[in-house]
Chain A
């Protein structure tokens, strides 16, 4: 950011011209967009009134239909687990084939294309298409989230591989190692911790998405939630929401544990004892 070209600045932190212009433009845009969306104070006011009533109906949450709730959650969990497993297994070869520093272009471009297409559509949209193809139920959800996983993990994996230090790989090549060993010892150690990072992120993301693909019929708690909304069972809705939040929080804890075990080489005791993991600790200055 360049400072404004004023002869003698009278204050210590001159605002750059570019930042000021951007701010003005953004404000203008916000006003314009609000009018486009037909947002009026009146509407907002009415809405807040509704919100009050809405929240009233949601509290206290009603856990009475626990079996329905539990089945929905279990199905969502299954969808997330299988989609992640399948997604990771398929993303690895695609990601590897898409790496331009390892593969010739006639191999890398098709692989990259597959990954881009897989990423382009929202999982819900993909779920709709799969529902048409394989019918309602969890299978559509699993396939949809697998596609999403391939897109996400594949892209990041390719990027990670393309960023590896060529020197380390060169040294392994110079020992006469076969191609797969060169990958295993030269390339993969460099990308491993990043891979665990985004694999666990995707597991989390799939868990989140698995709770809503049911809205379009692809299985999981989303269907239960949608039905509850349509019947105005708002107290059941809040029960479901709380369960979803709990499930996802549990997923985040698990993801952190996996990261600590595989990236920091933590032991189980270290996990439970807590404290700052090795790679999070601030570095000492030399």
Chain B
């Protein structure tokens, strides 16, 4: 199975001389859920955001869909971004818009600005959106305002928005960190389900190791801006976790 995403020697330094990411090398296969775990500040979020260039890499290559994402700009960057769906920790829905309009945001990369402004999206997009709402369990919510939803509901909309893009890759930056445990599991089930049903790679950044073990096919452990563990969940030992996170108390 060819790799969907190849990252080579990726580095990022917000302050020159103090890199947050050190020469990251990783290949993501075309299917499956990959979880990135590690303590705060270790660069997990930076890594994810470098992929769709929400953060500018300092050096390195990000090969996706036949292009180096680290180099593209302008229209090519937009076209690349529309192929990558992203789910955010704080959902990042446009609060004042309805659920339907938030979903249609996922199609903005494909629809002309004029038609988008007039809300004249193709009928199949509307149909797709309504079907997706059913899939994520929010049937009938199409015309609720986004700020009237609970956290779990908002994240479902966020996921649906990303899926609307018909992405080849899904990124999720701490998608469950703002949610309660039960809702977190539901969201992870959704994400894993999408990975299976749409057969795309899903890259999730998370701090809940138990969740990662339960839902991921592959785990990347990061510490100090480097990948220190790369393998299936059952090979993730307590010793490794101690190495990644440091200290023991939090384990019990």
Chain A positions within 8 Å of B, measured between CB atoms, are: 165, 167-168, 170-178, 180-182, 184-186, 189-190, 192-193
Contact = CB atoms under 8 A, between A and B. Distances in A.
B180 to A, nearest CB: 16
B167 to A, nearest CB: 9
B116 interface: yes
Contacts of B158: 171
Contacts of B79: 176
B86 A178 contact: no
A176 B96 contact: no
Given A168-B92, A189-B97, A173 B80 contact: no
B109 A189 contact: no
B82 interface: yes
Nearest to A166: B92
Contact of B109 (A171, A177, A180): A177
Contact of A184 (B54, B109, B116): B116
A168 B146 CA distance: 12
A175 B77 CA distance: 11
Given A184-B116, A185-B97, A185-B101, A175 B165 contact: yes
A174 B108 CA distance: 10
A270 to B, nearest CB: 17
Chain B contact-residue range equals 20 to 34
B196 interface: no
A170 B108 contact: no
B105 A176 contact: no
A171 B86 CA distance: 8
B117 interface: yes
A174 B96 contact: no
A172, A176, A180 — most chain B CB neighbours (10 Å)? A176
Contact of A172 (B90, B95, B108): B108
A171 B108 contact: no
B161 interface: yes
A170 B88 CA distance: 10
A224 B107 CA distance: 57
A175 B94 CA distance: 13
Given A168-B93, A185-B108, A189-B96, A174 B54 contact: yes
A47 B77 CA distance: 74
Interface string B53-81: 01000000000000000000000011111
Contacts of A174: 52, 54, 81, 84, 86
